[in-house]
Amino acid sequence: MGRTNKKEQGYEHVSRKKLLPHLNSLERYVYPLAFRKRDFLVETGPIDSDRGHLLLPVLPHMRRKGKSTQALVITASVEAVRQTERLIRRVPHLSWLEKRVLHLDSEEASRKEAGQIGRQPHVLVATSDRIIDHLRRDNLSLDHVHAVVVDEPERESASGFNVDVQFILSKLNRHPHMAVFTPSLHEETDAIISLLRRPRVCEREDWLDAGSSESSKGKEQTVSNEQRKKNDFPSEEKIAGQIEEIIRQIHEEENPDELNYYRKLVRKHVPFFTRGYFAAYLLKNGSTPRKSKKNSTQFTSMFVGVGKNRRVFPRDLIQLFSSVNGVSAEDVGEIKILDNYSFAEITTEKAPDLIRELNGTEYRGRKLTVNFAKRKD
């Protein structure tokens, strides 16, 4: 058998080198994303005249063999459907798309449209209500669709549109590769985000920052008002240290079951696109994480014969130690919980009292061993 080229193997291959001179900033950013396996969502900002970026994610999914509709581009308006055609006219290397993409830009269902769909275009571009109408008339089969592009409208129209998209996706017999474009990130988009697999979310600044090198040089030469304001913020080193301490506490001191409970509540009540700001707000206004108490106070390392296997966490040991008369949380330093035992730093003067009161007592169904930790030789 002879060797097969890329056209015979699958999609019509067009190199980035040929395409890039004809693409705008958003399209240049989207094109490489289309060839990756992850679903993605891109914040576009307002789009007035050209939606060529909607066709780029379907290029890797267009197969030469087989007569079937392989990709859907779902928009909210007929004008948006027409705008996708401009990419084919603008980019000479994509002229082959003209015979393989069907744009339904009429306002009403018609026999003509049914006949066009019957010829099984590889890509169908239409409004959500036109697609649903043809599905209900059995004019359209989605059996072979494996790529879907969603062009979400502005927030005030997004709710009903997203319901239509969910209905269309429910008619597919496989999970498609999905690309979603939205003018702005808002709560209504959560309905679409929930349908994506490991989505990569790209804000408008991401593709704007990936613009030409000339614009990058211009940014370096001028200091924006936003950058001046940042000078009033805490230093990155300070915030990074605070984050590092929080992460340490999560891994070493917190109860995973309790954290999972709070995480579920955040997922339920905080919209997807607000969670980053939610975390930033808590970091900005939260209390400073508990720092190590090692200063002039002398601490002694204690061995405690209970650990993770008994569902023990640092706060449990602090409560246990505080049950001894004269010992408070301030007398407890760093705590390290292992599977079957733990190590805890206790102020040197209180350590003998803890051993005397706690060693040999029963704790969580077993006899507790509390003693001075042995130093490694």
Rounded Cα distance between 132 and 113, Å, is 13
Number of C-beta neighbours around residue 363 at 10 A: 18
In a domain, 117, yes or no: yes
Rounded mean pLDDT of the chain? 81
Range in 63-72, 114-123, 224-233 with the lowest mean pLDDT: 224-233
Same domain, yes or no, for 78 and 173? yes
In a domain, 175, yes or no: yes
Average pLDDT estimate for 328-339: 86
Same domain, yes or no, for 64 and 181? yes
Given this model, what pLDDT does residue 66 score?
Answer: 59
Q: Between 164 and 269, whose confidence is greater? A: 164
In a domain, 147, yes or no: yes
CATH of the domain at 17: 3.40.50.300
Share of the chain above pLDDT 90, in %: 22
Q: Between 42 and 109, whose confidence is greater? A: 42
Digit-coded pLDDT (tens) for 312-325: 888 888 889 988 98
Q: Between 308 and 248, whose confidence is greater? A: 308
Same domain, yes or no, for 130 and 22? yes
| Domain boundaries, position 262 | 223-285
**Does 2 score more than 80 pLDDT?**
no
Average pLDDT estimate for 243-271: 79
Given this model, what pLDDT does residue 212 score?
Answer: 47
**Does 218 score more than 80 pLDDT?**
no
Reported as a pLDDT band with limits 50, 70 and 90, residue 268 is confident
**Of 165, 185, 214, which residue sits at a domain end?**
214
Range in 215-229, 247-261, 280-294, 336-350 with the lowest mean pLDDT: 215-229
Reported as a pLDDT band with limits 50, 70 and 90, residue 273 is low
**Of 255, 285, 315, which residue sits at a domain end?**
285
Distance (Å) of CA 118 to CA 85, 110, 112, 122? 20, 13, 10, 11
Q: What is the dihedral of CA 163, 164, 167, 173, to 10 degrees?
A: -120
In a domain, 1, yes or no: no
Same domain, yes or no, for 234 and 200? no
**Of 176, 196, 214, which residue sits at a domain end?**
214
Same domain, yes or no, for 41 and 146? yes
Given this model, what pLDDT does residue 242 score?
Answer: 82
Contact 81, 124 (CB under 8 A): no
Number of domains in the chain: 3
User: Among 273, 58, 44, 55, which residue's Cα sits nearest to residue 152?
Assistant: 44
**Does 251 score more than 80 pLDDT?**
no
Contact 183, 44 (CB under 8 A): yes
Same domain, yes or no, for 280 and 312? no
**Does 53 score more than 60 pLDDT?**
yes
Same domain, yes or no, for 271 and 199? no
**Does 214 score more than 50 pLDDT?**
no
Same domain, yes or no, for 58 and 189? yes
**Does 328 score more than 60 pLDDT?**
yes
In a domain, 291, yes or no: no
**Does 190 score more than 60 pLDDT?**
yes
User: Among 202, 168, 76, 184, which residue's Cα sits nearest to residue 127?
Assistant: 76
**Does 19 score more than 60 pLDDT?**
yes
| Backbone angles phi and psi of 179, in degrees to 5 | -130, 130
Same domain, yes or no, for 271 and 320? no
Rounded Cα distance between 52 and 88, Å, is 8
Given this model, what pLDDT does residue 221 score?
Answer: 44
Digit-coded pLDDT (tens) for 354-373: 899 999 998 888 889 999 98
Given this model, what pLDDT does residue 365 score?
Answer: 80
Reported as a pLDDT band with limits 50, 70 and 90, residue 231 is low
Same domain, yes or no, for 11 and 147? yes
Same domain, yes or no, for 145 and 244? no
What is the end-to-end Cα distance of the chain in Å, rounded? 70
In a domain, 377, yes or no: no
**Does 178 score more than 90 pLDDT?**
yes
CATH of the domain at 351: 3.30.70.330
Q: Between 279 and 151, whose confidence is greater? A: 151
Share of the chain above pLDDT 70, in %: 83
Same domain, yes or no, for 146 and 242? no
Given this model, what pLDDT does residue 290 score?
Answer: 52
**Does 54 score more than 90 pLDDT?**
yes
Average pLDDT estimate for 73-102: 88
In a domain, 193, yes or no: yes
Given this model, what pLDDT does residue 126 score?
Answer: 94
In a domain, 25, yes or no: yes
